[in-house]
Structure 1
Amino acid sequence: MSDPSAEVAAPAFVGRGRETAVLAGALAQPPAMVLLEGEAGIGKSRLIHEHVAAGPLGALVATCPPFQESLTLGPIVDAVRQSRAGAGLSGMRVSSLVGALRPLFPEWSADLPPAPEPLDDPKAALHRSFSALAELIGHLRVRVLVVEDVHWADRATLEFLLFLVARRRPALSLVLSYRPEDVAAGSLLLRLSSRLPAGWTQVRLTLPPLDVTATAGLVSSMLGGEQVSDEFAAFLHDRTDGVPLAVEESVRLLRQRDDVVRHDGEWIRRSLDELAVPPTVRDSVLERAQRLGPAARRAVEAAAVLAGPAEERLIAEVAGLAPADARAALAEAVRSGLLADDDRGGLAFRHVLVGRAVYDAMTGVEQRRLHHRAGEALERQQPWPVVQLSRHFQAAQEFGKWCTYAELAADHAGASGDHTTAVTLIVRLLATAPLGTPAAVPLAIKLATAATARREPVDDLHHEVIRTLRDVLDRGDLAPRSQAEIRNPLGRLLLQAREFEQAHAELSRAVPDLAHDPVEAARAMTYLGYPLQGPWPAAVHLRWLEQAARVAPGIGTPVDRLALTADRAAALLALGQEDGWAVAAELPNAVTDAEERRQLARGLSNIAYVATGWGRYAYAEARLAAATELARLTGYVRLHASAQAMRAQLDWYTGRWTGLADRVAALIAASDLETSGSLEPFLVDGLLHAAGGSSRRAEQRFRDLLTDAPVDSIAALPVTPAAALATLRLAAGDVDGAAEVTDEPMRTIATKQMWVWASDLARVRLDVLLAAGRAAGAADLLAAFEQGLGDVDAPAPRAALLTCRAALLAAGGEPDGAAAGYAEAAAAWQALPRPYDAALTLERQARSLLDAGRADAGAALLSDVFHTLAELGARTDAARVGTGLRELGVEVRRTWRRGRRGYGDQLSPRELEVARLVATGRTNREIADALSRSPKTVAAQLNSAMRKLGVTSRTALAVKAIEAGLLPGDKD
């Protein structure tokens, strides 16, 4: 018999036993990061709310809205605000730093400390906001921060999560839920999930669909706990693929339509063949929505337009319902299961797909009408929710208000350091709104300025900005001055996008019409003077720098003049011009103004970098130390990270390798490193791996660097990874591959006469030419190197030039001359000092001595080289030299390989690593990926650990290890 009056209950939490255990195990070992992934409706939020948000873990739950242009840190800010609803910050003792949060929590202004002095560096401002927000979360005693739907997170929120991870706060764990298919290719979520510092527990938990048994259990829990027929369970599973939300929605619809009935003590489908369950959630949602009364349907449509948790009052106002009617309508919508209380005093759809289905079913006219109402209602709130207002008035096609609020939202985002949101809002405005040229020009200038302030890698948004600015320029009715104010930043954006000739053209066209702004004119000239890639010879760059020098005196503020001087000095030195040192000497030794300190720090840092290219290491270290101190005094976080990165490269060159690998690993794990554009630690990591014998990992590093190197920098960083990659390929016998990777950087150096940057590249390029049988080409390269370097006092390229001369002598069958040449070159390398290069050059001298028949001298020198390389840690090279010595009959020992200690019945460190990851529920393959080992090695270490602990299962291993105190258990 049918029983249509029977209530359909909320579904029980079923089929997630394993996932619950893994989640609990991970959170018992803080700090932990749980990456909870799965498709829409799969049950990520249910798992979180059942075993994290509702538990005793002290969780703070943030939810990301489905809009990329949400205000800076919006999800985290909203979560904190809700956690202190009605209480504010009263009674909470926070430091003065928390005053930086006033723009984010204006309603708490009475409780917040005064706002600190504004920072001109956007990254420093954002970092300060991060630190303040982290302090506030700490005062809330949060042990688990949950961020749901993180695939929709704005960039600032993701950067904040990276910041929290880098702080290594031991008591805080992260649970992030997302849909893998909706994670953008360049999302920071990928970095967040792949570069955890040591000590973190990481679990990647993928929620699969329910199987038939779990599907039956879920349906049974909704229908009074009574059994569900096998046929009905299989039918539902087949039609819904076991997605919990689809199963639940289908059951509700079937029950409302009286298509599911009790029969012989179990629930069955009335006719499995005649009536099909709707295949998608959308179909079920729409049919349920149509069964609502008119008022309830209007309330649901208003909620769909608001597209997020909203108060009853706001939904009623948008729906046009009186308070009494609204209460009844919302109660009906909640009973239908379409809307639910979000535990924060608001109502929202149970899943975003439900709201989207309702919204898409509305006519365009009705959508615009409700967006207009939503905008008018939100205009009465203080402070204005400008992002939401922008979205609603855009959808309502009220372009005037849309422009007003979009620009306000962009200004707020930019002030908080979130330039990506600012850019997104203005791009959408310029691309869509019917703006006349007088209104479009200031927006285009603002867009260009915000876009140049972004620190993200070149992405789709970057290219969209370029297209938008070009569209504005193509209007044809712009005044020359307006064109120049757009072309100037557009040129810089084109440089970043590697469109060098277009960038040069835009900057060149901008300069004549920037007379009203001589500072920007001088900056554009200086950019044109940078020796970036492109077809222009050094003479072109030098003419622009000379023009900038004529304009610069007396213009702008002291900050402007200091920045222009520093940039011109660095550009001249990058071009190998000795007079760059005199320009650098014009920089003051000390300044007191905060912005002058930041500009001086930046300038000294750039000059230190080019000094490294020249081989003036003591000078570089002194400038780098001064830049680091200035960065510390001004809170210039990005430059501080960059300075540390450059110091790592100096330590590599000068042979200070002890502990360098650990420092480099820590720098790579730091959240501020890549945003600073500092790739030196990645380079040094590759060089250390190449010298240490991990050639495959080193090659991957070098390839990545050649792809990722910043193109708008004076730093010639791509030259060194190209040389290092070519060295690896040449050692492997791949002469053609080594030639290919050195072709382009060698052309750039020759075209721009930047021979001061040829220390590494020219040597391997000459070896490649000789290995390819192109002796004439090698001779031409040496002649060009010698002529291009001239009499410039650059110790590193001088030593490289001596090495190349000796190599050509050796290839020409003159071993005695080559040996003498290599000895002179080795002495030059040692004087820098560059002990690694000196040792490699002495190895070449020794082989020339052997070729000259001076076996004893050659063998003795090779023996010295072997010990030098072994002490440095250059195992690859030491092994090669050792092989050569043994062929000469000289006994050598690999002093760096002392053998592994035995651990008896105790777990070794590697076995402990495997046991720790087993306890988090990972498979052997996942453990292998996490530890960069083969699955076979992991299996052997797992078996060994189980044997030592006397267990026969993975679960027993985890329990035994925790009980024995070998793995961390629950921590307070």
Structure 2
Amino acid sequence: MAAAPRQRTPGRSQTASPILIGRRSELEELTAALVSPPAVAMIEGEAGVGKSRLVRELIAQPALRRLRILPGYCQPLREPFRYGPILEALGTLRGHPPPFDRDRLSPVTGMLHALLPELSEFLPDPPEPTGDPRSERHRVYRAVRELLSAVGPAMLLVEDLHWTDDGSRSLLSFLMADLPQNLAIVVTYRREEAPGGVPLGSAYRPPPGATSVLVSLKPLDLAEVRALASSMHGGRSITLDFATKLYERTAGLPFVVEETMRALGDPAGTSRLEGPAARQLLENVEVPVLLREAMAERLAGLPIAAVRLAEAAAVLGVPATVELLQEVAGLTGQRSRAALAAALSSGVLHEADDCLYGYRHTLAQQAVYDTMAGFERRRLHARAIEALRRREPRPLVRLADHSHRAGRAGDALRYGEEAADRAIREGDASTATQQLQRLLLMPELTAADVDRLAVKLGEIAHTGLDQHDPAATLERVLGDPRLSTAARGEVRLFLGLLLIRQAGGLQAGLDAIETAIGELDERPDLLGRGVAVLALPYFGTTPLPRIRPWTERLGAMIDEATGEELRLTMLANYAPALVQVGEPGALRAFAPPARDAAMTPAEQRNLSRLHCNLADACACTGHHREAGPLLREGLRMAVEVGAPFVVSTGRATTARLDWLLGEWDGLEERALGMLDEYHDLLPNASELSLVLGWLAGARGDWDEAEGWLNATGVAAPHDSITPVVVSGFAALAKVRLARGETDAALADARRGLEIVRRKEVWAWAGELVPVAVSVLLECGRFGEAQTLAGDLARGVADRDAPMAKAALEMASALLAEAKGEVGLALRHYERARRAYGELPAPYYAALAAERLWVCRLENGSPGAAEELAALADAFAAMGATWDADRCGHHLRVHGVTRSSRRGRRGYGDTLSPREQDVARLLARGRTNREIAEVLFLSPRTVEQHVARTLRKLGKRSRNDLLDG
């Protein structure tokens, strides 16, 4: 039904996202159709899909500003108000002077005197009545058309047409059939709620000469939900797992997403929506008031049988067959089908799949669930247990959930543990940990139950990706008086294994493991696991001499081990620990054994871990050729046997290795995707941030590089992964040196060197030392640089550390060049280039080659300019655009123009590589001066590039580029 006339001006909702998400193509299509009336636009979509938001954006488009907007709205009122939304729209014309010339109005417009009293003084006198209702109605239609024509160019906007009266539908049909030349009509509606599914009451066909467009809005996809949530969180990034949960709960409906984000609070984005706490927050958020009221209103209009069916669907929680719904609801077959039809037609229930019925999204289901009394919910959950327990295979997870909610502790324990055991067998660590954590909250558990379930939780959780929730549960269980002394050491060990993978939990985890070792004298298998962790050299800033006793103890335990599973468990840490510190011959001595078909799944998981851990050690120390095959085999096994944590670490190492090998095509996207997935895992997140930081630095994106590098653990080295932190300081020092921030670069280099010296592991200094020497020389600290090179030489003299030894050649070359010993410098640069090339490490080989050819160019060597020009091309092909520009700068400084070397390609209306660089930097808000510094160009040249780039992109200014 239509609303009574009222005034309402379209505007931005205070609850909406500050930016429009996912509707750009629809907005462009509508704008193009309406810019030249006559035109009709029909916008359809379900409740909450964003029709009104799209309309707000539409009427704000600059191309449509010449149109007078006449808004009318419909509401689901019981009493109709004939022509309500159209009269409401016309009522907005009141004012002095009127927006039309009374003398030019047709006499028929006088028919609107009684209908629009606020405009009566501006209308002609009403004509004499005809006495024929049909004739009178036709006169009103003509009057409305004449008035709309007089006020044009205009846009008549009618929202929620599905609620309007038949008179308004008929009037709109009349107007659309013979549109005034200066009128555009826009209507929005929900097709499923329009009578007969036809919003105008009959089929609409656009008249000749009029533009017509139908836009059917669909829910947002996952990426768009994530962007929408981010925009409502102060523009801060939303993690993929949070966005996925939000998408699942809201079905991608923008209104529901916005209402949910508002219910979460913190609109400025001062808290981070990530991790288990955020997921729990989302799980427990109350149903938004508007959604709760809407669902209550729909339920109130249903017959009692349909309400019972809706309640059964809310209790079941997942789409179900009509047979299961009727069994839980206690309805007969014929009655349940009629009830289902009513629930579907009202929009309460939705056909999720072929003959499976449930709620459109989780919050709708929760809204109905919350309307039920507690005793009624328990009764229906008990019915659900009886219905589901007869199905094969039994849906154990659902049975456990219904048992918890029905208050049946015995059933909850039985089904929950069975579900966890099945998940463990299938390698589904996430489901297993969720079930076990829920069981451990039950006050009815016996001491034996607590022991058994806590140990199971620790055993499975440390193989999965979810570390925070299980860790919190185990920490709580350690304080549970029901936990026996015998199980306490096991639980503490597993807690430590989880904590060392969390940001800020490394030292606490190591302390927990060391305490647990004193409680596990009678469990050599678990004792071996604990010692194997404490033997790893790359945790925090603990000096290597304090770690060596654990490494030696681990080696002895491996020699004494009787079971292959335990031996592989310890070897998977022992061999990589030796390779990490550059122990000579360790890589060959502890090459992984071949996979044996007779191996148990646990043995294969540890064998895959050995492969991946060795690959990581190889990547850290420079054995890049060996790392690739180890990674590929380790990842293959880990996937096959179901070891998600091993897969996660292997994939992060792959990203690091791709960086080192110069395989940068698509690397940024791959690293970002993995970071979304593994952001809660300290080793993975820090290593992926390192890769992203190095990549951004190579492009000259200094601010982005610093942001990523600050997430590598440089702020808390004692609680981080040491080789990653050392490399992070190297990258930071390089970025700050490039920006001319020599004091900051010196501070970063010294902090990194302090860690290396404290740890006494120079095998990790391969990326840091050349940068540190460059910084020291730039600061005039030749003596300190020389001392550093000597320390590195002594630190790797008896070590198997190819990357660090190549770095020693590079450092020696830089020192020789600084002393003016050109011949010696050239020899060291050449050795460094070859050493890096043999690893291989193409980017670092190119850096050494750059210094080699610049040094030769400065000394007049023939062919140096050509070699440096070719090197610039190699940098650019790799993706190191800033390094490529630096090479070009060297050539220009020495009077070499690359245009003489080969013809210049014409790019027409497409962006050249240089213009792509300019566009990228413009999009990041860089000034011309900053762009000039990054690209080694003059400000005048940058101005020309900026002008051409904006022209080719169709932008009038850099602000347009930022807005787009």
TM-score under structure 2 normalisation? 0.58
Counterpart amino acid of 1:383? P
* CA radius of gyration, larger in: 2
Deviation at 1:470, TM superposition (A): 0.7
Shift of 1:570: 0.9
Counterpart selection for 1:534 from 532, 540, 550: 540
Match of 1:866 in 2: 868
What amino acid maps onto 1:734 in structure 2? E
Residue 447 of structure 2 aligns with which residue? 437
Q: Tell me if the contact between 1:862 and 1:881 (Cα under 8 Å) persists in the aligned partners.
A: no
Partner of 1:731: 738
Shift in alpha-carbon separation, 1:795–1:283, aligned structure 2, 3 A: closer
Q: Distance in 1 between matches of 2:864 and 2:655?
A: 29
Which region of structure 1 is more displaced relative to structure 2, 679-688 or 523-532? 679-688
Q: For 2:715 and 2:191, how far apart are their aligned partners in 1? A: 43
Q: Which residue of 2 aligns with 1:625?
A: 629
| Secondary structure at 1:213 match in 2 | strand
State the one-letter code of the partner of 1:544: W
Write the distance in 2 (CA, Å) between the matches of 1:285 and 1:374: 23
- Quick one: distance in 1 between partners of 2:367 and 2:650? 52
Structure 1: gaps (5+ residues): 3-17, 26-37, 47-210, 230-241, 253-277, 457-461, 915-923, 927-933, 945-972
Q: Which among 460, 464, 473 is matched to residue 478 of structure 2?
A: 473
TM-superposed deviation, 1:383:
2.4
Distance change in 2, residues 1:706/1:446 (3 Å): same
Distance in 1 (CA, whole Å) between partners of 2:715 and 2:156 is 47
Partners of 2:433 and 2:461 within 8 A in 1: yes
Determine the C-alpha separation between the residues in 1 that align with 2:791 and 2:481: 47
Give 5+ residue unaligned stretches, structure 2: 3-21, 30-43, 53-154, 174-186, 198-287, 917-921, 925-944, 956-964
Equivalent-residue separation in structure 2 for 1:693 and 1:726 (angstroms): 14
8 Å CA contact retained: 2:540, 2:719: no
Query: Which residue of structure 1 aligns with residue 906 of structure 2?
Result: 901
For the 8 Å contact 1:496–1:711, the answer to whether it is kept is no
Q: State the distance in 1 between where 2:450 and 2:900 align.
A: 70
The answer to whether structure 1 residue 218 and structure 2 residue 162 are counterparts is yes
Partners of 2:163 and 2:749 lie apart in 1 by 65
Per the alignment, residue 834 of structure 2 pairs with 830
Structure 2 counterpart of 1:303, from 306, 313, 316: 313
Aligned equivalents of 2:883, 2:750: Cα separation in 1 = 26
Residue type of the alignment partner of 1:748: I
Q: Which amino acid aligns with 2:475?
A: R
- 1:118 aligns with none
Q: CA deviation at 1:574?
A: 1.2
Of residues 799, 806, 814, the one that matches 1:792 is: 799
RMSD of the alignment, in Å?
A: 5.5
Aligned to 1:314, which of 320, 324, 344? 324
- Counterpart of 2:47, as a letter, is G
CA distance in structure 1 between the partners assigned to 2:715 and 2:190 by the alignment: 41
SS at match of 1:453: coil
> Which residue does the alignment assign to 1:511?
517
- Aligned AA (1:539): P
Q: What do the CA deviations read for 1:711-738 (whole angstroms, capped 9, x no partner)?
A: 9998834433442332122111123443
Once the two structures are TM-superposed, the CA of residue 503 in structure 1 deviates from its matched residue by 0.8
CA deviations on 1:851-906 (whole Å, 9 max, x unpaired) are: xxxx974666964762563363266445545544554x553526898633356xxx
User: TM-score, length-normalised on structure 1?
Assistant: 0.58
| Structure 2: distance between partners of 1:566 and 1:940 | 58
1:446 paired to 2:456 = yes
User: Which residue in 2 is equivalent to 1:820?
Assistant: 824
Alignment of 1:7-22 (within 5 A): none
Partner of 1:146: none
1:801 is aligned to 2:805: no
Q: Distance in 1 between matches of 2:832 and 2:351?
A: 75
Structure 2 CA distance for partners of 1:500 and 1:396, relative to 1, 3 Å? same
User: Is 1:749–2:753 an aligned residue pair?
Assistant: no
Task: Answer yes or no: is the 8 Å Cα contact 1:925–1:935 preserved in 2.
Answer: no
2:771 paired residue number: 764
Please give the alpha-carbon distance, in whole angstroms, between the structure 2 residues aligned to 1:859 and 1:565. Answer: 53
**Residue deviations 1:552-608, cap 9 Å, x none?**
2242533442453342121122133336347425x5467554666765554344334
Closer, same or farther: CA 447–45 of 1 in aligned 2, 3 Å:
farther
The alignment covers a number of residue pairs equal to: 677
Question: Where do residues 483-494 of structure 1 align in structure 2 (5 Å cutoff)?
Answer: 483-494=488-499
Write the distance in 2 (CA, Å) between the matches of 1:686 and 1:608: 21
What SS does the aligned partner of 1:798 have? helix
Query: How much has 1:397 moved relative to structure 2?
Result: 2.1
* Structure 1 position 680, deviation (Å): 7.8
Deviation of 1:480 after TM superposition, in Å, equals 3.6
Q: How does 1:523-602 map to 2 (within 5 A)?
A: 523-578=529-584, 580-581=586-587, 583-584=589-590, 587-588=592-593, 591=596, 593=598, 599-600=606-607, 602=609
Greater displacement, 429-438 / 597-606? 597-606
- Output the CA distance in 2 between the equivalents of 1:359 and 1:397: 16
Is the 2:349–2:358 Cα contact (8 Å) retained in structure 1?
A: yes
Letter in 2 for 1:621: R
Q: Percent identity?
A: 30
Aligned equivalents of 1:432, 1:569: Cα separation in 2:
42
Residue 388 (structure 1) aligned with residue 398 (structure 2): yes
Amino acid at match of 2:157: T
The CA deviation string for residues 285-337 of structure 1, in whole angstroms up to 9 with x for no partner, is: 43554566655544443333223433444334333456676566666656766
Q: Distance in 2 between matches of 1:624 and 1:443?
A: 39
Q: 1:901 to 1:868 in 2, by over 3 A?
A: closer
* Conserved 8 A contact 2:713-2:719: no
Tell which has more relative contact order, 1 or 2 (C-alpha 8 A, sep 6+): 1
Of 646, 662, 665, the match for 1:662: 665
Counterpart-to-counterpart distance in 1, 2:593 and 2:289? 72
Q: Give the distance between the partners of 2:420 and 2:770, measured in 1 at CA.
A: 50
Which residue identity does 1:564 align to in structure 2? M
Q: Map 1:390-409; keep pairs closer than 5 Å.
A: 390-409=400-419
Are 1:682 and 1:705, in contact at CA under 8 Å, matched by a contact in 2? Answer: yes
Alignment partners' CA distance in 1, 2:348 and 2:160: 22
Distance 1:404 1:727, change over 3 A: same
Q: CA deviation at 1:340?
A: 6.0
The DSSP-based 3-state class of the residue aligned with 1:496 is coil
CA spacing shift, 1:20–1:738, aligned 2, 3 Å:
closer
Quote the Cα distance in structure 2 between the aligned partners of 1:354 and 1:438: 40
State the alpha-carbon separation in 2 of the partners of residues 686 and 789 from structure 1: 27
SS at match of 1:390: helix
Which of 463, 468, 487 is equivalent to 1:463? 468
**Other structure's SS at 1:552 match:** helix
